[in-house]
Amino acid sequence: MDFQKELRLKQKLVNQRLEKIIDENDAPVRIVEAMKYSLLAGGKRIRPILSISICQALGGKIDDVLDFACAIEFIHTYSLIHDDLPAMDNDDLRRGKPTNHVVFGEAMAILAGDGLLNYAFEIMLKEAVDKNKFFYLKAADIVAKAAGIKGMIGGQVIDLESEGKKIDIDTLNKMHRKKTGALIEASCLCGCIIAQKEDMTEAVKEYGKNLGIAFQIVDDILDYVGDPKKLGKNTGIDIKNNKSTYVSILGIEKSKKLAEEYSLNARNNAKTIDKSGFLLNLTDYLLNRES
């Protein structure tokens, strides 16, 4: 199947499942509204698509991985809501819409983020309990660590502490391996674990690592040269917040070259996976994306 068509089909599948999962609860209406607002506002759905595609490439079934993959998108959405808060990046546009706190107020936005994070673990643990499969617990453990203080939150802390300072490329790499890379790597690993192909763990892990850094370098480049309309978010945020980025340290051209290098490494990792056609195209799409 044509790559763009397959990507759109996978995005549609994830979107439909996200909506079904979030509707399956009797929580107070306002918190569900706030959670749904950001969760269903669009977004590329890269993390669940990585879990699904790696699981499929390794012979796993889509039904075994879909809910778990959606749980990772719940966590990603929580991180975006909290990242946009006045106490963090203080942003007012995300996924082409006013940010969560602009619409629902700061208190509800914090709770919506917390709600999405907790709900993600409900979903992952439900898979483990209902299907009585230990490998879901292993995958949930990976996600917990990737989203936590050793991963995404830890990276955000380094980011906060680096504001207004000049940091070197090694510190920047360390920060982004955690802040952006950890959840991308975990999304890939979960696909592998749910497919029960543990012998492929190392290759998949390396793929996720390289892809995660390439993804972040492109994100930094788009913050400088991207089109806010296509991105659905404001640009120039890193400069406004006085942050060191790949572009501020290396300049645009060297950043592009570095993104290409990491992306090529990711491609080479992906080639060791059985049916890697979609993953190779996805790697290229993420390198050349405009949103």
Q: How far is the CB of 220 from ligand GRG (least distance, A)?
A: 9
b/e sequence 26-47, b meaning 16+ C-beta within 10 Å: eeeeebbebbbbbbebebebbb
Interface stretch with ligand GRG, choices 29-37, 79-87, 193-201, 236-244 (CB under 6 A):
79-87
> Between 60 and 151, whose beta carbon lies closer to ligand GRG?
151
For residue 34, state whether it binds ligand GRG (rule: CB under 6 A).
no
Kind and range of the H or E element at 98? strand 97-98
Interface stretch with ligand GRG, choices 14-22, 43-51, 98-106, 266-274 (CB under 6 A):
43-51
Interface stretch with ligand GRG, choices 73-81, 160-168, 255-263, 272-280 (CB under 6 A):
73-81
- Taking each helix axis from N to C end, the angle separating 134-147 and 106-131, rounded to the nearest 10 degrees, works out to 160
Among 46, 111, 221, 286, binds ligand GRG (CB under 6 A): 46
Q: How far is the CB of 212 from ligand GRG (least distance, A)?
A: 9
Euclidean distance between CA atoms 177 and 206, whole angstroms: 12
- At 278, list the tokens: 């979609």
- Which position has the token pair 């979107």? 15
Among 50, 58, 72, 95, binds ligand GRG (CB under 6 A): 95
Interface stretch with ligand GRG, choices 2-10, 150-158, 262-270, 277-285 (CB under 6 A):
150-158
Q: Note whether 30 and 108 are within 8 A (CB).
A: yes
For residue 279, state whether it binds ligand GRG (rule: CB under 6 A).
no
Residues 6+ apart with CB under 8 A from 246: 172, 216, 217, 220, 221, 255, 258, 259
For residue 43, state whether it binds ligand GRG (rule: CB under 6 A).
yes
Euclidean distance between CA atoms 179 and 156, whole angstroms: 6
Report the interface residues with ligand GRG, using CB under 6 A.
43-44, 46, 76, 79-80, 82-83, 88, 95, 152-153, 156, 179-180, 216, 219
